[in-house]
A = this chain, B = another copy of it.
Amino acid sequence: MDDITFAVLGTGGIGRRALEVSQHKDHLTPVAACDRHGTAIDFDGLDVDELLAATEGNIDNEVATDGGERTEGSRSSSELRSDGGSAATAADSDGGVKQHGEDRGVVASEQARPSEDPIQDVIDHGDGIDAVLLALPNYEHDFIPRTADRFVEGGYSGVMIDVLKRSRVIDMLDERSETFEDNGITFICGAGATPGLLTGAAALAAQSFVEVESVDIWWGVGLKSGYEDNRGTVREDIAHLPEYDIETARALSDEAIEDIIDDHDGVIEFEDMEHADDVLLERAGVCDAEDVEVGGILDVRSDEKPTTTTVRVTGRTFDGETATNTFQLGDATSMEANVNGPALGYLKAGVRRNRAGEYGVFGPAELMPGF
């Protein structure tokens, strides 16, 4: 495979880890990274070590408090879209961006410069970017589709890839499928640990069967040392509890989140989650969405996984047997490892599809052998 250049939108937990993991990958060169306040672009390849060191602790948690209390001077995520609003430079905000450098967010890196419209900076350099990883997990649910619209308007053609879990975002992307096809965009959605890695495993495990009866996805995440870096993900998980949805979870204050965690003694169990795994497996023709169940256990007070992440695919073979194929992740693999490795793996697969002229919207399971 030829060399691949990629950009990361968002330098929070996922964006930073994706940059770090990419250093271990052949043929993968990060050339752009941005957050709400600035952009780093270097087509010779970003100096990832410098960028990560300068932005250590750089977690933009602000949008998570949208609708809850807002820090005076903090700004909404709409700034990243820069609809002609006022400048959001490193100097004028003391919002939710936390980092250890002298400056705020990515501009703490000497490779970055402040920008009024960081995403437009990336779009303007789109000709040299094979793939764009949207590492923006916690914005409003139409943020990624509308970001894709901006790339279309800016004439971008290439791969766009997200690690979201939400079925409704996929529906919104699907509405844009024809536009993507017309513009040479291959959009890979849900390409992290789940749905990404685990639906991919389910699609492969299904190959023994002529009919899949059920897919049972059960995950365990221990997040003690990574809790601060992954508050957005925890909030998103809380949105899956029966009492909440994505809007009400987004409206929770940090204190309310902590209260929920305390109520569960730090260990929250999820059943029957509205995860995109089901629609992505149905898209790939593996089974009906209703035959997919997703649940798991999150422990924010231990790094040990509270349960082993397991995918069970039960089906009928052509010769009439019923059996279950199983895929398990080692307990020592962190959530970050299981999100970012697959994200970059699917990014590579997406670039291959894109270069071969396959455009539109794809779930990870659709990149597996056909069922």
With A207-B345, A208-B197 known to touch, is A334 a contact of B358 (CB < 8 Å)? no
Q: A327: shortest Cβ distance to chain B, in Å?
A: 5
Residue of B nearest to A349 (CB): B369
Q: A8: shortest Cβ distance to chain B, in Å?
A: 15
Complex Cα–Cα for A201 and B332 (A): 19
Does A306 sit within 8 A of B, measured CB to CB? no
Partner of A328 from the list B25, B317, B318, B325 (CB cut-off 8 Å) is B325
Does A3 sit within 8 A of B, measured CB to CB? no
A220-242 CB contact bits vs B (8 Å, 1 = yes)? 00000000000000000000000
**A318 near B345 (CB under 8 angstroms)?**
no
- Tell me the chain A residues, 33-91 only, with Cβ under 8 Å from chain B: none
Complex Cα–Cα for A210 and B357 (A): 29
In the complex, chain B residues whose CB is within 8 Å of the CB of A150: none
- Tell me the chain A residues, 1-33 only, with Cβ under 8 Å from chain B: 1, 17, 20-21, 24-26
With A200-B369, A369-B367 known to touch, is A333 a contact of B323 (CB < 8 Å)? yes
In the complex, chain B residues whose CB is within 8 Å of the CB of A334: 317, 319, 321
**B318 near A332 (CB under 8 angstroms)?**
no
**A201 near B204 (CB under 8 angstroms)?**
yes
Q: Which of A132-140, A244-252, A291-299, A336-344 contacts B (4 or more CB under 8 A)?
A: A336-344
**A318 near B330 (CB under 8 angstroms)?**
no
Q: A203: shortest Cβ distance to chain B, in Å?
A: 9
The complex is assembled from copies of this chain, and their number is: 2
Does A166 sit within 8 A of B, measured CB to CB? no
Does A285 sit within 8 A of B, measured CB to CB? yes
**B345 near A370 (CB under 8 angstroms)?**
yes
**A345 near B324 (CB under 8 angstroms)?**
no
Partner of A21 from the list B17, B210, B328, B353 (CB cut-off 8 Å) is B210
In the complex, chain B residues whose CB is within 8 Å of the CB of A341: 207-210, 317-318
Chain A residues within 8 Å of chain B by Cβ, number: 59
Complex Cα–Cα for A344 and B206 (A): 12
Does A348 sit within 8 A of B, measured CB to CB? yes
Give the secondary structure class of A's interface.
mixed
In the complex, chain B residues whose CB is within 8 Å of the CB of A148: none
Does A269 sit within 8 A of B, measured CB to CB? no
Does A172 sit within 8 A of B, measured CB to CB? no
Does A288 sit within 8 A of B, measured CB to CB? no
Residue of B nearest to A364 (CB): B369
In the complex, chain B residues whose CB is within 8 Å of the CB of A274: none
Complex Cα–Cα for A189 and B21 (A): 30
**B337 near A330 (CB under 8 angstroms)?**
no
With A353-B356, A356-B357 known to touch, is A346 a contact of B369 (CB < 8 Å)? yes
Residue with the highest number of chain B CB atoms closer than 10 Å, among A207, A319, A329:
A207
In the complex, chain B residues whose CB is within 8 Å of the CB of A143: none
**A200 near B208 (CB under 8 angstroms)?**
no
Does A113 sit within 8 A of B, measured CB to CB? no
List 10 A-B pairs, Cβ < 8 Å: A200-B369, A201-B204, A205-B327, A319-B334, A323-B330, A326-B327, A327-B327, A345-B370, A346-B369, A356-B357
